[in-house]
Homo-oligomer: A and B are copies of this chain.
């Protein structure tokens, strides 16, 4: 447990050291979202229709971009070796890293999303649903992402390969997440989508650290 906390603290410390990192992830999200109106055109009705999809896709990409960092640096400088030699089970340490990743990359998105939703003229209720869907969904992104990041570790062309592996796995989260907001905008209940998202999260919390650990062991040997 100590080592778990130590890992979370160290990763948060590293993120804080790169002072701007959390903020830049946020701005990346904002910029990607703003690219769409620029590419598509400014009509409000149209934008409101595509808003949930665009916001969720941007959240996906923001989460994915920061995945590279998750294990790569630790692999290169030998920290991962040290982690696997630690008496604390590797899966626990991996969970710590995933938690830190979500705290620095997922949580800020959840908090910022309503502001951006306003730019797309979403109603207050829809904004609430958007936040809840992101709150349930972004941890899933970090968890699944960890598996991908571990699998592509030390593999040539890792960065792009990673997105190739991970994006398809993200699709359920995307469909339920964006679906929840759309259902709410369309006046249907968002509850069904949200509980499916919750189920995904539960599944991820149980299995992802284990799978990521197995993948890390492969990369290490």
Contacts and interface: CB of A to CB of B under 8 A. Distances in A.
Central interface residue in A31, A35, A56, A171, by most chain B CB within 10 Å: A35
Contacts of A46: 46, 49-50
Contacts of A57: 32, 35-36, 39
A132 interface: no
Interface stretch (A61-69, A115-123, A196-204): A61-69
Q: Is the interface of A mostly helix, strand, loop or mixed?
A: helix
A25 interface: yes
Given A40-B54, A171-B38, A182-B41, A20 B159 contact: no
Contacts of A20: 156-157, 161
A19 B155 CA distance: 11
Copies of this chain in its oligomeric complex: 2
Most buried by B among A19, A50, A56: A50
B24 A164 contact: yes
B35 A40 contact: no
Q: In the A-B complex, list the 6 residue pairs whose CB atoms are closest, starting with the nearest.
A: A39-B53, A18-B157, A40-B53, A24-B160, A21-B157, A18-B156
14 contacts: A20-B156, A21-B156, A21-B157, A21-B161, A24-B157, A28-B163, A31-B167, A35-B174, A36-B54, A36-B57, A38-B175, A39-B53, A41-B53, A46-B46
